[in-house]
């Protein structure tokens, strides 16, 4: 996630000038349930906000005066806040203009332990990078909300995090079938399969290519459980750490390959997982 990219901020400042010149009376006022993904300083008093709006997709907007101590936005624009937003949106403008925000639930917990803090950072980073702007993502919104609820209520973040990663890869269309070899159609049964980050699919031992990552039968069963059950039903499960790490590393490889960027939170997650082990 480009939290402080100079080029992006420069473009945002140019768009902010356009927003300031725009007459709000000539722009439609919209309201939507939303989850804040990122908040960055803009100028001396404003904030640049990236948020996932239910039914509208990911949007970016300017919250004027949001950095003032007595701002009408208060603390509602903190990352991973579940809010209702009112904003002006004008055709052919990249940035919306935030008017009002009402907090529904704050998932960010300053008192959370290190592993949960990193998990929340990771969810925000992947969501910011993966959801395209202005493309409705209802299933993505519901997924994000479910995972944030689970992370807020569970002491162990690894299963909700794995649930999020697997479903994000699945919804993006990047998850291969894990039941049989994509080349010879041989069923894997109790044998490991081999997976890569491209679209070739999962392969058996005989068909595999050099450099492919191995997925054990236990990891495949865990993936099948996650995809077939709601997160609330999985809440009491405590899968073996090696299974979650094996599947998580494959999913992170896929995400980084298709996003064409390294995830800032990946190394931090590895450190947190090693500490937890």
- CATH fold of the domain at 6-106: OB fold (Dihydrolipoamide Acetyltransferase, E2P) (2.40.50)
Distance between CA atoms of 76 and 4, rounded to whole angstroms?
21
Residues 6+ apart with CB under 8 A from 133: 57, 58, 59, 60, 94
Instruction: Please give the pLDDT value at position 112.
Output: 72
Whether residue 115 contacts residue 275, with contact meaning beta carbons closer than 8 Å, is answered with: yes
Instruction: Please give the pLDDT value at position 34.
Output: 98
Per-residue confidence in pLDDT tens, the chain, 277 aa: 344 445 555 555 555 454 444 455 566 899 999 999 999 999 999 999 999 999 999 999 999 999 998 999 999 999 999 999 999 998 768 899 999 999 999 998 776 788 899 999 999 999 999 999 999 999 999 999 999 999 988 778 999 999 999 999 999 999 999 999 999 999 999 999 999 998 678 999 999 999 999 999 999 999 999 999 999 888 666 777 777 899 999 999 999 999 999 999 999 998 888 776 5
The CATH class for the domain spanning 114-276 reads: mainly alpha
Instruction: Please give the pLDDT value at position 4.
Output: 45
Decide whether 6-106 matches 114-276 in CATH topology: no
Instruction: Please give the pLDDT value at position 3.
Output: 40
CA distances from 86 to 34, 78, 139 (A): 10, 16, 22
Distance between CA atoms of 141 and 272, rounded to whole angstroms?
26
Handedness of CA 122, 166, 172, 267 (dihedral sign): positive
Instruction: Please give the pLDDT value at position 25.
Output: 53
73: helix, coil or strand?
coil
Nearest alpha carbon to residue 222 among 246, 201, 196, 205: 246
**How big is the CA angle at 86 (ends 82 and 92), to the nearest 5 degrees?**
115
Strands 57-63 and 193-195: unpaired
Instruction: Please give the pLDDT value at position 13.
Output: 53
Return the number of other C-beta atoms located less than 10 Å from residue 268's C-beta: 17
| Domain coordinates in residue numbering, the chain | 6-106, 114-276
- Beta strand segments in 121-254, E: 193-195, 213-215
């Amino acid at each position: 996630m480009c939290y402080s990219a100079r080029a992006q901020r420069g473009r945002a400042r140019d768009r902010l000038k356009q927003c300031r010149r725009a007459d709000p009376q000539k722009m439609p006022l919209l309201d939507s349930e939303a989850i804040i993904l990122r908040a960055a300083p803009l100028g001396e008093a404003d904030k640049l906000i990236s948020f996932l709006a239910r039914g509208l997709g990911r949007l970016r907007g300017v919250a004027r005066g949001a950095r003032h101590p007595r701002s009408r936005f208060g603390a509602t624009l903190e990352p991973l806040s579940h809010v209702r937003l009112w904003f002006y949106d004008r055709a052919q403008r990249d940035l919306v203009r935030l008017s009002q925000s009402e907090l529904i639930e704050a998932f960010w917990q300053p008192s959370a332990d290190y592993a949960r803090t990193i998990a929340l950072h990771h969810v925000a980073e992947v969501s910011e990078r993966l959801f395209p702007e202005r493309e409705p993502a209802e299933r993505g919104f519901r997924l994000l909300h479910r995972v944030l609820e689970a992370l807020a209520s569970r002491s162990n973040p690894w299963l909700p995090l794995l649930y999020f990663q697997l479903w994000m890869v699945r919804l993006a269309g990047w998850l291969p079938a894990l039941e049989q070899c994509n080349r010879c159609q041989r069923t894997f049964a109790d044998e490991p399969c081999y997976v890569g980050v491209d679209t070739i699919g999962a392969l058996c031992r005989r068909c595999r290519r050099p450099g492919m990552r191995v997925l054990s039968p236990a990891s495949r069963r865990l993936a099948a459980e996650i995809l077939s059950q709601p997160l609330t039903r999985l809440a009491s499960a405590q899968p073996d750490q090696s299974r979650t790490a094996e599947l998580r590393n494959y999913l992170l490889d896929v995400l980084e390959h298709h996003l064409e960027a390294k995830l800032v939170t990946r190394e931090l997650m590895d450190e947190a997982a090693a500490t937890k082990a």
